[in-house]
Amino acid sequence: MDTDNIQRYRDMLTSGRVTRLYLDELENLNQSSIGLATVQLITLPEAEAIDVTRQLIQRVRNELTSDQKPEELLQLIETVLVYMLPRLSRREVEAMFSLDELN
């Protein structure tokens, strides 16, 4: 949802420093960015999110260096999943995706 009342943000939006992303359009974007793929999790149906999460966790572990703080991104992914899968406890989510070592 976009509002037409963007006066206070106009300078920032026209500066080129900000890019608008609409969650319903994320599936059309190239998922080369781990960050965008993480945001996309929010929009996916549960079954698809589980499959995408497995691939995303693998990418984070393989592509990010320790300087890029992969643990923090993995914790964010875990938190998203805990909210997406309310019938599972945090420990069950950790076990399901082998995230136990984050704690």
Each residue's pLDDT tens digit, 34-52: 988 898 888 889 989 999 9
Yes or no: say if 58 and 72 are a contact pair by the CB < 8 Å rule: no
Identify whether 1 is part of a domain.
no
Residue 65 belongs to what domain range? 30-102
- 1 pLDDT tier (thresholds 50, 70, 90): low
Of the chain, the percentage scoring pLDDT greater than 70 comes to: 87
Total tally of structural domains belonging to the chain:
1
Structure tokens at 13: 């939006």
Residues 6 or more apart whose CB falls under 8 angstroms from that of 39 comprise 21, 23, 26
Quick check: 62 pLDDT over 90?
Answer: yes
Identify whether 19 is part of a domain.
no
Yes or no: say if 36 and 22 are a contact pair by the CB < 8 Å rule: no
Identify whether 49 is part of a domain.
yes
Tell me the C-alpha distance between 91 and 93, whole Å.
Answer: 5
Identify whether 14 is part of a domain.
no
